[in-house]
């Protein structure tokens, strides 16, 4: 096929895709994407109503005002109608001229961090009386109301009730959504079945001669923030494990995350030891770490990776925590990674928001981003993961990873290093398994870190820990664009629904809480939604044949960059004009057509060769 034919095919496919109602944002156009779950489950996706969006299953109107002004920081005030449902806030302006595009704001209520009234009875001046909404996804929204019709009061009350249902004895939208979605999809399509612990351990070759599987934590009695299924050294009995757990913060003893298929070097995760100021020791804990080291015959050393700055680890002794001393733990080397705590990260993200929204000072852009220290923090996490990869892959040394409690920085490091080491986790399904395993089953406190349905916006437990991990994955994908089966849109969709409360995947703090809430049967999994429309999330540049097995990104400030597609997407002056995943879908369609054409040509060639061979065999011999 010559160049002209290729261009013609590309243009035809692009035209077909452009005519479809393709979504422009994973949240902005829930109408165009809401059908993926409903249609899979054989139910009516949404009813046609007066509002210009398709209602999700279980979504119901709560309030509507037709005389509200959205104070847009980019285009100025826009007068229109505001609709509040139990899932979203939706505003659509009334254009002054026929050819003017309407201003549309579509925000899931779960994204809202806080709502404040602005102005009072004595307020004068245009648009000085209304409501300001602060969002978790970098946006601030301001709506002006007319004082005389008292519309602000009901809007404020409805937003409080449905954005923060847990603060008002309500339930998150995920339960209403699943309740109205009909029967659960078949197991093959059900996102709750994506991760099966025993199957994932078997994929890694466990159990084996050195590692066994235990269900000691079957009723979450040993550690309430750990999963039921653990992989532990074969030499450690269940009773011995109980004793080891007592010497670790929150009873989070070291258990297996990943094992190298050839060297048997491992990544295990845990929390800090309870050393305290007095320097307490535990013979059981010391012996247990030696079991982990001895399970890898390739090395006579064990590397302990402490995510914290050394000063913080020392300070934790005053609270009864601390770190492993090389004197007490034989054949152990300890490395501190200087990754700061949740409070530092929360403040850093706040500064990123100030720099990106609503206005950007061009003359101070670089210094503003540098001043947030966000990229420095991202670099530190990446550098820590690369160090773990080097220990496991290059030096065949087993690694134990922990921070203080082992559910924030530890999850960042184990998940990211596993992503770099194992190509399976760079597939779309494998990445879902990685999140389910390292983040959800091992007890990252999503409820507290995100604040689902909770109006305590200044809660000190909130922090963008998981967001940083997804940012790090994006950074790696920028250095290795052919190594990932999924695209940027997949990562942004995960972040959007981390906040939206439409799905049950990121609700609660631990596996034990999710089981108690019966989320598998009472909510829909995010993976059901994503896996029902895979083409949107595939990377057309992915190259599986001959791809690098192990990735070693350069963790340098020269390579780490701000993810504008996420943090700056609401600012029209800086976001990309053409959304990248539109072009991705065009490329995927073109790729499919080219593959089909190549296949057809091969079949024709094979048929022709077969026919020629038959003719040659049938001809008389001379």
- Residue 50 confidence (pLDDT): 58
Which DSSP string corresponds to 247-311? TBGGG---EEEEE-TTT--EEEE---B--TTTT---HHHHHHHHHHHHT-TT-S-EEEEE-S-HH
Other C-beta atoms lying within 10 Å of the C-beta of residue 127: 17
Q: Quick check: helix, strand or coil at residue 2?
A: coil
The residues near 396 (Cβ < 8 Å, ≥ 6 apart) are 260, 263, 265, 296, 298, 299
> Would you state the structure tokens that stand for residue 121, as one six-digit string?
């009875």
The residues near 497 (Cβ < 8 Å, ≥ 6 apart) are 26, 503, 505, 506, 526, 529
Residue 49, Cβ density class (10 Å: 0-12 exposed, 13-18 middle, ≥19 buried): exposed
Which DSSP string corresponds to 415-438? HHHHHHH-GGGGSHHHHHHHIIII
> Would you state the structure tokens that stand for residue 167, as one six-digit string?
């603060």
Rounded Cα gap, residues 106 and 434, in angstroms: 30
Ordered mean pLDDT values, 10 residues apiece, the chain (622 residues): 44 40 38 35 43 89 94 92 96 84 94 93 79 96 88 94 95 96 84 97 97 97 98 98 98 98 97 96 98 96 97 96 95 97 97 91 92 98 98 98 98 98 97 98 98 93 97 97 95 98 98 97 97 93 77 97 94 69 73 85 87 69 50
> Would you state the structure tokens that stand for residue 280, as one six-digit string?
């307490």
213, β-bridge pairs: 231
Rounded Cα gap, residues 438 and 255, in angstroms: 11
Bridge-based pairing state of the strands 140-144 and 61-72: antiparallel
Rounded Cα gap, residues 563 and 568, in angstroms: 8
- DSSP 8-state assignment for residue 535: G
Assess whether 380 carries a catalytic annotation.
Answer: no
- Residue 578 confidence (pLDDT): 56
Other C-beta atoms lying within 10 Å of the C-beta of residue 150: 9
Per annotation, catalytic residue among 135, 223, 403, 508: 403
> Would you state the structure tokens that stand for residue 586, as one six-digit string?
């065009």
Residue with tokens 């044949």: 545
> Would you state the structure tokens that stand for residue 457, as one six-digit string?
């916006």
Assess if CATH 2.30.29.30 describes domain 61-170.
yes
State whether the Cα torsion 487-490-493-497 is positive or negative. Answer: negative
- Residue 622 confidence (pLDDT): 46
- Residue 5 confidence (pLDDT): 44
Domain range list for the chain: 61-170, 197-570, 578-604
The helix (run of H) or strand (run of E) holding residue 242 is: helix 238-245
Where on the phi/psi map is residue 482: left (φ > 0), alpha (ψ -120 to 50), or beta? Answer: alpha
């Amino acid at each position: 096929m010559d160049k002209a034919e290729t261009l013609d095919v590309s243009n035809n496919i692009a035209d077909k895709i452009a005519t479809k109602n393709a979504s422009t944002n994973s949240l902005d156009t829930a109408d165009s994407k809401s059908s993926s779950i409903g249609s899979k489950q054989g139910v009516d996706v949404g009813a046609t109503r007066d509002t210009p969006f398709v209602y999700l299953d279980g979504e119901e109107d709560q309030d509507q005002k037709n005389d509200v002004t959205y104070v847009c920081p980019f285009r100025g005030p826009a007068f229109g109608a505001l609709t509040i449902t139990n899932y979203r806030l939706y505003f659509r302006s009334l254009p002054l001229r026929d050819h003017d595009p309407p201003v549309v704001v579509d925000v899931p209520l779960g994204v809202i961090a806080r709502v404040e009234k602005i102005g009072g009875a004595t307020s004068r001046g245009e648009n000085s009386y209304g409501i300001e909404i602060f969002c978790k996804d970098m946006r601030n929204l301001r709506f002006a109301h007319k004082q005389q019709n008292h519309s602000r009061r009901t809007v404020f009350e409805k937003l409080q009730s449905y954005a923060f249902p847990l603060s008002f004895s309500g339930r998150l939208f995920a339960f209403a959504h699943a309740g109205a979605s009909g029967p659960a999809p078949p197991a093959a399509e059900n996102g709750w079945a994506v991760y099966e612990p025993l199957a994932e351990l078997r994929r890694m070759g466990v159990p084996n001669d050195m590692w066994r599987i235990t269900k000691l934590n079957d009723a979450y009695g040993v550690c309430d923030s750990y999963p039921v299924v653990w992989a532990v050294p074969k030499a450690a009995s269940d009773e011995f494990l109980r004793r080891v757990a007592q010497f670790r913060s929150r009873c989070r003893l070291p258990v297996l995350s990943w094992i190298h298929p050839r060297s048997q070097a491992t990544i295990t995760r845990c929390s800090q030891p309870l050393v305290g100021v007095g320097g307490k020791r535990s013979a059981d804990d010391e012996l247990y770490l030696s079991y982990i080291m001895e399970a890898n015959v390739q090395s006579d050393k064990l590397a302990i990776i402490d995510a914290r700055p050394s000063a913080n680890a020392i300070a934790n002794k005053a609270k009864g925590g601390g770190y492993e001393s090389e004197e007490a733990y034989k054949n152990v080397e300890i490395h501190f990674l200087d990754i700061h705590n949740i409070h530092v990260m929360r403040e850093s993200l706040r500064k990123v928001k100030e720099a990106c929204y609503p206005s950007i000072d061009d003359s101070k852009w670089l210094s503003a981003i540098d001043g947030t220290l966000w990229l420095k923090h991202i670099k530190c996490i990446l550098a820590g993961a690369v160090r773990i990869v080097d220990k496991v892959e290059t030096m065949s040394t087993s690694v134990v990873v922990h921070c203080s409690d082992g559910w924030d920085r530890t999850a960042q490091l184990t998940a990211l290093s596993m992503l770099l080491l194992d190509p399976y986790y760079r597939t779309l399904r494998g990445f879902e398994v990685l999140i389910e395993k390292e983040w959800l089953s091992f007890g990252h406190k999503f409820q507290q870190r995100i604040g689902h349905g909770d109006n305590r916006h200044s809660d000190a437990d909130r922090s963008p820990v998981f967001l940083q991990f997804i940012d790090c994955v994006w950074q790696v994908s920028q250095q290795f664009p052919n190594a990932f089966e999924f695209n940027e849109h997949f990562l942004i969709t995960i972040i959007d629904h981390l906040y939206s409360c439409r799905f049950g995947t990121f609700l609660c703090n631990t596996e034990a809480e999710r089981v108690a809430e019966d989320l598998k049967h009472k909510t829909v999994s995010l993976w059901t939604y994503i896996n029902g429309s895979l083409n949107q999330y595939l990377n057309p540049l992915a190259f599986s044949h001959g791809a690098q097995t192990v990735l070693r990104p350069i963790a340098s400030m020269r390579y780490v960059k701000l993810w504008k597609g996420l943090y700056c997407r609401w600012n029209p002056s800086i976001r990309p004009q053409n959304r990248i995943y539109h072009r991705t879908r065009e490329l995927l369609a073109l790729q499919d057509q080219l593959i089909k054409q190549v296949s057809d040509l091969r079949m024709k060639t094979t048929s022709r060769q077969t026919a020629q061979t038959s003719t040659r065999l049938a001809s008389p011999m001379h």
